[in-house]
Amino acid sequence: MFKGSFVALITPMTQDGQVDYDDLEKLIDFHIEQGTDGIVVVGTTGESTTITVEEHIAIVKHTVRYTNERVPVIAGNGANSTAHAIELTKQLALTGVDAMLCVTPYYNKPSPAGLIAHFKSIAAVTDIPQILYNVPSRTAVDMLPETVAVLSKISNIIGIKEASGDVARVSQLRQLCGDDFVLLSGDDGTAKRFLQEGGQGVISVVNNIVPNLFKKMCSASLEGNVIKADELDILMQGLYKSLFIEANPIPVKWAACKMGIIKNQYIRLPLTELSKVNHGLLIEAMEKAQIEVN
C-alpha cells in the first residue's frame, strides 16, 4: 500500500484565507488521473502548523470521503506537544485514514529518549499505522537510525519518511529496522537515489505540479531502469531547487496557481506569497520540466 509516488498535498485556500474544498477535490482528481500512488493531507506542506484542529479534521474527513478508496490517504498528526499530537491522533483515528504521518517535534529539540517516549505515546492511542517523519532542516532535531530502530519494534509504527537528504541512511535503516519497515524519501532532490538504494517510495513536494513525470521517475527507479530514471530526474532538477527557494509551501502554491490547478496562491501568515524576484527562476524550471505556464 505504501509504495511509489505520494504527494505531500498543498491545502488550497480562498482569497480570504478559508479552505477551498472545491479546489481540494480538483487536486485529488488531478493526482489520481496523473497516476499518483497516494495522498498525504495536512502534513507540513499542507500548512498543518497554521491550520486549526477543527479545520485539520474537516480537511482529512473531506479528503477520505472524496478519495473514496481510490488511493491511500495519509494524514499528518504531528505536533511539538505530545499531548496535542495524541489528541489529534485520537480524532484522526475516526476519519477513515489509512495511516498517519508524524513529524518530529519542532523547536523544542528532544533527546533520543524524548523522541522515543513521544512517538511511543502517540502510537499507543490508535491501531492505525504510524509513519515517522524526520526533517532536521525544518525541526532542528535529527532522528538517527538507532532511534528509529527502537521505534520500529512498536507494532503500528510501520515506516519513516526520511528527509535528511542522507541517502546512506537507506541501508542503515534497512539493516536496523528489517525488511518490512517502509522507507519513504522526503527529499525530492535525492529521491531517485533513495529508491535505487532500496527505498520503497517518496512523499514529494514536487509531485504537486508534475505528478505524472514524478511517478514515471519513481517507477523507473524502483524497476532498476537507471537510464530512464536519470533522464526523467534531469527534467526536474530545476524544480528541486526552485521549489525551495523560499519556505515550503510558498513556491509550490505559486506554481500550482500559475498552472491553474488551484485558483489562487493564498498562504497563511507568517508565510507570505512568493517574492516577485523569484518568479522568473521558478517559471524557467517549470518550463524545463515541460509544464505549461499560464
pLDDT score recorded for residue 139: 93
pLDDT score recorded for residue 292: 80
pLDDT score recorded for residue 274: 97
| Burial label, 237 (beta-carbon count in 10 A; 0-12, 13-18, 19+) | middle
pTM value? 0.96
pLDDT score recorded for residue 275: 97
The residue annotated as part of the active site, out of 61, 106, 107, 161, is 161
In CATH, what class is 4-236? Answer: alpha beta
Identify whether 276 is a catalytic site residue. Answer: no
| DSSP string computed for 55-101 | HHHHHHHHHHHHHTTSS-EEEE---SSHHHHHHHHHHHTTTT-SEEE
The residue annotated as part of the active site, out of 106, 133, 240, 276, is 133
pLDDT score recorded for residue 1: 78
Closest CA to 118 of 79, 75, 92: 79
Identify whether 258 is a catalytic site residue. Answer: no
**Cα–Cα distance list, 69 to 51, 97, 191, 251, 294 (Å):** 25, 10, 26, 30, 32
Annotated binding residue 10: no
Domain ranges of the chain: 4-236
Q: Chain centroid to CA 39: how far?
A: 8
Residue with cell 513525470: 213
| DSSP string computed for 96-143 | T-SEEEEEPPPSS---HHHHHHHHHHHHTT--S-EEEEE-HHHHS---
pLDDT score recorded for residue 294: 72
Q: β-strand 182-185 against 201-204: which pairing, if any?
A: parallel
Given a cut of 70, the residues of the chain with pLDDT beneath it are: none
pLDDT score recorded for residue 246: 97
Say which amino acid occupies 230: D
Rg (CA), the chain: 18
**Cα–Cα distance list, 194 to 78, 172, 189, 223 (Å):** 24, 12, 10, 13
Annotated binding residue 52: no
